[in-house]
Structure 1
Amino acid sequence: MRVIRRNVFTPIVYCAIFSALVLGWVYFHYLKRAISPENVISFIGYVSFATTILWQLWDRWLWHWPLLRKISRVPNLSGRWAGSYRRLGGESDNRQHSYVLEIRQTFSTICCSTYQDNGTSSAGILSEVCDFADGRVGVTFFWEGIPQATETCQRLKNEEYRGMTALTYSPPPGKSKRAVLEGEYFTNRETQGVVHVERKSGKLLQRFG
């Protein structure tokens, strides 16, 4: 497994070059401003402002546009994913439970939160987009959470816990199909299990139902 490094510096440089070229033509050619220290300082300020705006647009939206996705080389995993997880092991119930994963992603950051049918939720401490050994991409996140009073396993009720989840991404095989994330999780309570979720929407509800 290898973390996909998001090169933030390169798009910022591209934004600065694009801003300088466009504003330079407008400022000095179209508006015919003289090249003087005062005008150059003003021009640098305009370029800095435009670069900031372009970077924000790229970081939040432009990077996952279909035409620009090959440039960013980062898979778009953002949205609300729903499916199930199954606890495995001697002290686990070995039953399937409903599971919701919400991913908030920009080009430079990714954050994962989970919600389960028994009231338990968790928040990602560290999340990364990764390349896995089989050539597929996905997401790995370390998380912590506290089960709610509705936790079905008495031994685990109200016990703080931490874990790691590693999910591989499968793009939708057709227009009528949904993208899938599936993989395994492990916890510090010596429990483990498998997860299978499908992308439902781009809207994050921050709750289970």
Structure 2
Amino acid sequence: MAEPGARQLMENVKVRIGIGIAALVWLVLALLAGQGFSQVPLRIYSIAGTIAALAFALWERFIWKWKVVRYFTGVPLVAGTWRGELVSSYVHPNGESVPPIPTAIYVSQSASKCTVTLFTGESKSISEHAKLIHDSDGRWRLSWQYVNTPRPGVRDRSVRHKGAAEAYIGFQPSEGLEGVYFTDRRTDGELRFSEWSSARYSSAESALAADGFNRTSPFVGDK
């Protein structure tokens, strides 16, 4: 059985931290106000709640990414643009297979959610649901369901469709992301991404032509 996903793990940590922060703030403010625990003014509860809410917001956007935090949670950091190729199982009517397609994906990641956008020269896929999953063998995978919208010039042979994909996150920087996909058009294939950039790109052309891509280390402790 798979271990809890990244979202559940991060939510558990976030709730515990929030409760601890709220309790600590309430205690400090009560002591500073010189009030007994049974006579704490309502405004102190309000201030403690506001500070806890701010801490939650900072956790969601920033704190969870810190290496010292991820050292304990183990959650990989995969946000950014990945560059590689898509290998389709589709075979043309004349019997020829499709050559590997240069592909890029952009991953947006916060403490509680992910979004994945995949680009090729002919289409764009945007995730409807995406999540990180921690498997029982210790590996992490990024799983998402998407809607693919081809460019107008190719819609005579490629229609809008839905699909699902997942990519395992390699423990070593050279392993990158590797996975599979399938569509409601009854096609499937493989995904391979070995290069990474922290920059965001809005098209396959710009991402595939850009400099500054390298190999990333999604796990704390990698070199």
**TM beyond 0.5:** yes
Contact persistence 1:16–1:48 (CA under 8 A): no
1:142 paired to 2:145 = yes
Hey, what's the Cα distance between the residues in 1 that align with 2:107 and 2:126?
10
**Alignment match, 1:109:** 113
SS in 2 for 1:6: helix
Contact persistence 2:130–2:145 (CA under 8 A): yes
SS in 2 for 1:204: coil
Contact persistence 1:16–1:47 (CA under 8 A): no
**Alignment match, 2:57:** 56
Q: Looking at secondary structure, tell me which structure has more helix per residue.
A: 2
Equivalent residue letter for 1:28: A
Hey, what's the Cα distance between the residues in 2 that align with 1:122 and 1:115?
7
Aligned length: 199
Task: Quote how far apart the aligned CAs of 1:132 are.
Answer: 4.3
Give 1:15-54 correspondences, 5 Å limit. Answer: 15-22=18-25, 24-25=27-28, 27-29=29-31, 31-35=32-36, 39-54=40-55
Contact persistence 1:85–1:196 (CA under 8 A): yes
Hey, what's the Cα distance between the residues in 1 that align with 2:138 and 2:130?
19
Equivalent residue letter for 2:67: P
Q: Which runs of 5+ in 1 are unaligned?
A: none
**Alignment match, 1:98:** 102
Equivalent residue letter for 2:60: D
Contact persistence 2:25–2:48 (CA under 8 A): no
Task: Quote how far apart the aligned CAs of 1:77 are.
Answer: 1.6
Task: Quote how far apart the aligned CAs of 1:125 are.
Answer: 1.1
Equivalent residue letter for 2:202: Q
Hey, what's the Cα distance between the residues in 2 that align with 1:133 and 1:72?
15
Hey, what's the Cα distance between the residues in 2 that align with 1:41 and 1:34?
12
Contact persistence 1:129–1:138 (CA under 8 A): yes
Contact persistence 2:26–2:45 (CA under 8 A): no
Percentage of identical aligned residues: 19
Task: Quote how far apart the aligned CAs of 1:109 are.
Answer: 0.8
- 1:127-156 Cα deviation digits (max 9, x unpaired): 1212347542111111112211344x9532
Q: Looking at secondary structure, tell me which structure has more strand per residue.
A: 1
Hey, what's the Cα distance between the residues in 1 that align with 2:26 and 2:192?
49
**Alignment match, 1:166:** 166
Contact persistence 1:74–1:107 (CA under 8 A): no
Equivalent residue letter for 1:110: C
**Alignment match, 1:155:** 157
| 4+ residue runs over 6 A deviation | none
**Alignment RMSD:** 2.6
1:13 paired to 2:16 = yes
Quickly say closer, same or farther: Cα 1:170–1:147, change in 2 above 3 A: same
Give 1:65-144 correspondences, 5 Å limit. Answer: 65-91=66-92, 93-118=97-122, 120-132=123-135, 135-144=138-147
Given the two structures, how large is their TM-score scaled by the length of structure 1? 0.82
- 1:48-88 Cα deviation digits (max 9, x unpaired): 11111111111111112111113333222211111111111
1:196 paired to 2:192 = yes
Equivalent residue letter for 2:81: R
Contact persistence 1:125–1:142 (CA under 8 A): yes
- 1:92-113 Cα deviation digits (max 9, x unpaired): 7421111111111111111111
